[in-house]
Amino acid sequence: MDPNSRFLLKSFRKYYKENAPLMPERFTKREFGFMFFDRQMVQRHMGFSNPDDLRKFMIAQVPSHSYYSTAYYRRPDAPTMEEKEWLGAELIFDLDADHLEGADKMSYSEMLVRIREEMKNLTDSFIYSDLGFSEKEVHLTFSGGRGYHAHIPADRVLTLGTHERRELVDYITCSGLNIDWVFPFRRVATSQFKTAAGNRTNVARDRLIPPPESGGWKRKMRNGLMDVVNDFCDADVKTIKQTYPSIKSSTAATIIKAQDDIKNSRKTLFDKNSMATLSKATQEMLVKIMKEDVAPRLSGEVDKPVTPDIKRIIRLPGSVHGKSGLRVTPITRDQLTDFDPLRDAVPSSYSDEAVKITLKKDYEFDMKGQHFSLKGETEVPEFAAVFLVGRKVAEFGHISERKDSLF
């Protein structure tokens, strides 16, 4: 075993001696899986009949990563999935910062802030509101790495199949939203006239706006349209183009004309829930903005393959993450608001004792209220060393000392 793995294993063992893992509901029906520092394997198809057995296993084996199944099985320790006999599965939503746009240019701390905001949007705009789950039904967890999990073990979702769970993902991510369903056309007769073939009627096709009592995506889009209307009335052309890239190729004259049109109808649009007072060109410009700019911003972030997978394994709460040393931490919605993993998910079993490390590159971060600006060979508290070595930002020990010991 290399020095880095040996150091992490020692710190993790100390943690597991002082902290018992948190047992998921109906844990005797769950499959458990583990990865290790000292062997290249994944050990799955394990079951535990009581919490003490799991704790003894983790102290003795010291896994680098610990997982449990979101599914319930009649025989969770059976060697094949068919033999396990699937009984149901929690509904899981997983957010990981590496899926964020521009994540490769963010620092670890920046990713944590961004993904926390995405999780707040997911819970508040979708899970608690549109999907109707209560806070008591939803178990939120910091993953220990770069994201968050929402576990919903409610009885009414346990037997949902892959297709139904994928539909929930599509709803949250706004996949396949029909803009003509949100803003449908209404045909209204405007005049009649006689022709040689008989009477004919002129018909106007105007877009309707979802009424205020609408739910789901219609409500979101109504509120979003209100913001767009306010922007067109209050902002200049340059700002509008920057805010709504879908119309950046429109001329200034076209946008100014739409602004005048919208200003004249500002007071009546949402009273009548109709765009009938707007020109056809302005109506279609607004609908284009709502489809291409606003809807994606209102959608939720979620790891699409995770939720439909009814036999998934996921991080075990109370375990520590092998690539960060941070605790997989259950939190409430209130705690999520300003949750800082580098403050709130650092195990207390890691000490302040100085540990020698060698940075692979200059690195600056805040942890447990301390600011670190590091380079080369240095010493940091154990809690910081575990984090840096786990993330492969640093090597355990001073490399120069290792080289000297060879001669």
**354-359 and 394-396 as β-strands: parallel, antiparallel, unpaired?**
antiparallel
**In sequence order, which residues have a C-beta less than 8 Å from that of residue 178 and are 6 or more positions away?**
none
Amino acid at position 47, single letter: G
**Residue 5 CB: number of other CB atoms within 10 A?**
16
Name the helix (H) or strand (E) containing 371: strand 370-374
97: closest CA among 82, 85, 113?
Answer: 113
Long-range contacts of 207-211 (CB under 8 A, 24+ apart): 207/183, 207/274, 207/275, 207/283, 207/286, 207/287, 208/183, 208/184, 208/273, 208/274, 208/275, 209/183, 209/269, 209/270, 209/273, 209/274, 209/275, 210/182, 210/183, 210/273, 211/273
Catalytic pick among 231, 303, 340, 344: 303
**Residue 389 CB: number of other CB atoms within 10 A?**
24
User: Could you confirm whether 352 is annotated as catalytic?
Assistant: no
User: Could you confirm whether 271 is annotated as catalytic?
Assistant: no
Place of tokens 């105007």: 206
Catalytic pick among 94, 130, 227, 309: 94
- C-alpha distances (whole Å) from 32 to each of 69, 76, 144 are 6, 8, 17
Amino acid at position 287, single letter: V
User: Could you confirm whether 261 is annotated as catalytic?
Assistant: no
Q: Dig out the tokens for 116 from the structure.
A: 């926390």
Which residues are annotated as catalytic? 94, 96, 303
